[in-house]
């Protein structure tokens, strides 16, 4: 039996975004696994759960009993769930799958049933503070081979969108555009939902005109609009023919999906903020969403995500796992392995990493012409150079964009 010897969390920020990596060492010299436990808003809380609670719980146990260990880690706190506990468990879970793949000398997707497709298509973000800038960026992505492009005008909620020169002044208050959480921002940032919706419809129509009918367009509302106004907005977007509209409602307002569905035919992707089955089961069973886009480590890793994918398959819902900048290459790899293995894959979000990431995470999955090919290394297929990671200490400063307000000062509730 191969035992778990040591479990540790390592925080690092090579791109200025705090990442949390979990490293699991085993009784076999050199046999280690890694996982992503990134909760960039509260990284040290996750690291503490890993180091103080999960490490002693797991030491000495059989590393092959992934399902049982997942249940043990989850039941062990008695009160369960939430992004802190789930990320800690999710990071360990990915590391255990990584180890299982290395032992079998197989890439993870082959252990999960093998490839259902030859490549995994990705979407990247075309962001800009003017409509021509968004169109130009979208064109560049298409020229580089992308078939799916997500378009945002002036950041989430369009606070930084410039339509007249007078707007340029206020553009310094612009909220970050993805992978934005690390960008500077403060409480003064406000969003005007009516302006955002009008500008976004105009922007998406422009992009559609410029790129033609074949490119798939996506847009992230990022829970920035009062829920009662979403039906009208979604209906206006119907003529653009979006691939999907992302995260219209916060997790506690899923009841509004029925109204949006009734008003519009635009497909809906939801769930980057979900952490528990109670949040996704009813809306999948009622077919109120077309795509599930949970963040793998936020729901507890690969073990629960496989089950979620299978439930979605039964209801005709496709996957679109969350793949932002605040997700390490281990998290992106876990997404992609599942993307290959599940029949109901929809699309994968993957941000474009900076070159420094290759020094810290050798072998990280890279995209060519808008897609990733089947990874061939065993397990997740990504490595980790701890000494490099230590050169980029975490900032431990929560991003400020969650302080965004409406013009009257009301806090936005994402
Ligand atoms: C997306 C996102 C992210 C989130 C971020 C929060 O990629 O669709 O909405 O950019 O804002 O992950 O930390
Ligand atoms: Mg999003």
Same domain, 130 and 82: no
Same domain for 331 and 353, yes or no, is yes
In a domain, 396, yes or no: no
What is the number of the ligand 1 atom nearest to the C-alpha of 327?
Answer: 12
Q: What pTM, to 2 d.p., does this model score?
A: 0.94
Residue 119 lies in a domain: yes
> What ligand has the least distance to the C-alpha of 326?
1
pLDDT tens-digit readout, 44-77:
999 999 999 999 999 999 999 999 999 999 999 9
| Residues near ligand 1 (Cβ within 6 A) | 40, 178-179, 181, 220, 222, 272, 324, 326, 349
Q: Which atom of ligand 1 is nearest to the CA of 179?
A: 10
Query: Residue 204's domain is classified under what CATH number?
Result: 3.20.20.120
User: Burial code of 78-96, b = ≥16 C-beta within 10 A, e = fewer?
Assistant: eeebebbbbbbbbbbbbbb
Q: Is 170 exposed, middle or buried (0-12, 13-18, 19+ CB in 10 A)?
A: middle
Domain stop point among 106, 123, 148: 106
What single string gives the DSSP state of each residue in 271-314? Answer: -TT--SHHHHHHHHHTT--SEE---HHHHTSHHHHHHHHHHHHH
* Rg of the chain on CA atoms, in Å: 21
Are 96 and 118 within one domain? no
Do residues 137 and 96 both lie within one domain?
Answer: no
Tell me phi and psi for residue 155, to 5 degrees.
80, 175
Task: Give the closest residue (by CA) to ligand 1 atom 7.
Answer: 324
- Substitution site in 243, 291, 324, 350 for ligand 1 pocket (most atoms within 8 Å of beta carbon): 324
- The reply to whether 99 and 132 lie within a common domain is no
**Residue 14 DSSP SS3:** coil
pLDDT score recorded for residue 189: 81
Residue whose Cα lies nearest atom 9 of ligand 1: it is 222
Which ligand is the nearest neighbour of the Cα of 271?
A: 2
**What pLDDT is recorded for position 39?**
98
Whether 128 and 190 share a structural domain? yes
Domain for residue 392, yes or no?
Answer: no
Residues with catalytic function: 156, 222
Q: 412 lies in a domain?
A: no
| Residues 87 and 150 reside in one and the same domain | no
Q: What is the pLDDT of residue 179?
A: 39
408 in any annotated domain: no
Q: How many angstroms is it from 209 CA to the middle of ligand 2? A: 24
Which of 62, 80, 106 marks a domain boundary? 106
Q: Which domain holds residue 143?
A: 111-378
Q: Residue 385 domain-assigned?
A: no
Determine the Cα–Cα distance for residues 216 and 64; give it in Å rounded to an integer: 41
Domain count, the chain: 2
Is the C-alpha dihedral spanning 356, 184, 325, 144 positive or negative?
Answer: negative
- Structure confidence by residue, pLDDT tens digits, 103-121: 999 999 999 999 999 999 9
Is the CB of residue 109 less than 8 Å from the CB of residue 340?
yes
Low-confidence ranges of the chain (pLDDT < 50): 165-185
Q: Which residues contact 267 (CB under 8 A, 6 or more apart)?
A: 242, 243, 244, 245, 290, 291
Structure tokens at 132: 């021509």
Would residue 383 count as lying in a domain? no
CATH of the domain at 8: 3.30.390.10
- On whether residue 44 sits in a domain, the answer given is yes
Are 365 and 374 contacting, i.e. CB atoms less than 8 angstroms apart? Answer: no
Considering the domain architecture, whether residues 70 and 193 belong to the same structural domain is answered as no
Nearest-CA residue for ligand 1 atom 3 is 324
Question: Are 192 and 326 contained in the same domain?
Answer: yes
Instruction: Let me know whether 41 and 115 are in one domain.
Output: no
Query: What number of other Cβ atoms are within 10 A of residue 169's Cβ?
Result: 9
What is the structure's pLDDT at 164? 56
CA-CA distance, 38 to 261, in Å (whole number)? 33
CA-to-CA dists, residue 16 to 181, 326, 353, angstroms: 10, 10, 12
Quote the CA–CA distance of 250 and 127 in Å, as a whole number. 22
Annotate 210-272 with DSSP letters as a single string.
HH-SSSEEEEE-TT-S-GGGHHHHHHHHGGG--SEEE--S-GGGGGGHHHHHHH----EEE-T
Same domain? For 198 and 117 the reply is yes
Residues 41 and 134 in one domain: no
């Amino acid at each position: 039996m191969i035992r778990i010897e040591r479990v540790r969390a390592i925080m690092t920020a090579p791109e200025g975004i705090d990442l949390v990596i979990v490293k699991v060492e085993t009784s076999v010299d050199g046999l280690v696994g890694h996982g992503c436990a990134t909760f960039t808003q509260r990284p040290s809380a996750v690291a503490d759960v890993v180091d103080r609670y999960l490490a002693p719980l797991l030491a000495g146990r059989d590393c092959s009993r992934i399902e049982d260990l997942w249940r043990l880690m989850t039941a062990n706190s008695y009160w369960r769930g939430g992004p802190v506990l789930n990320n800690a468990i999710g990071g360990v879970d990915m590391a255990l799958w990584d180890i299982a793949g290395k032992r079998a000398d197989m890439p993870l997707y082959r252990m999960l049933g093998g490839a259902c497709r030859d490549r995994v298509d990705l979407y990247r973000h075309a962001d800009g503070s003017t409509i021509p800038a968004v169109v130009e960026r979208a064109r560049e992505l298409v020229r580089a081979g992308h078939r799916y492009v997500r378009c945002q005008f002036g950041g989430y909620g369009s606070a930084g969108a410039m339509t007249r020169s007078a707007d340029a002044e206020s553009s310094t208050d612009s909220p970050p555009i993805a992978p934005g959480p690390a960008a500077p921002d403060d409480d003064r940032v406000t969003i005007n939902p009516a302006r955002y919706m009008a500008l976004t419809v105009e922007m998406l129509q422009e992009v559609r005109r410029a790129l033609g009918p074949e490119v798939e367009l996506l847009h992230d509302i990022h829970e920035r609009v009062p829920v009662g106004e979403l039906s009208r907005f979604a209906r206006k977007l119907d003529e653009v023919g979006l691939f999907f509209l992302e995260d219209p409602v916060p997790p506690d307002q899923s009841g509004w999906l029925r109204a949006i569905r009734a008003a519009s035919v635009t497909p809906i992707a939801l769930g980057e903020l979900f952490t528990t089955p109670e949040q996704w089961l009813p809306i999948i069973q009622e077919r109120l969403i077309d795509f599930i886009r949970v963040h793998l480590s936020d729901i507890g890793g690969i073990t629960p995500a496989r089950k979620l994918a299978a439930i979605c398959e039964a209801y005709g819902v496709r996957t679109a796992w969350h793949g932002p900048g605040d997700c390490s290459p281990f998290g992106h790899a876990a997404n992609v392995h599942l993307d290959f293995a599940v029949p109901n894959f929809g699309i994968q979000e993957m941000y474009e990493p900076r070159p420094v990431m290759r020094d810290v995470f050798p072998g990280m999955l890279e995209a060519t012409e808008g897609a990733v090919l089947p990874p061939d290394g065993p397990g997740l297929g990504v490595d980790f150079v701890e000494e490099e990671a230590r050169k980029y200490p975490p900032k431990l400063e929560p991003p400020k964009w969650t302080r965004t307000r409406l013009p009257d000062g009301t806090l936005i509730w994402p």
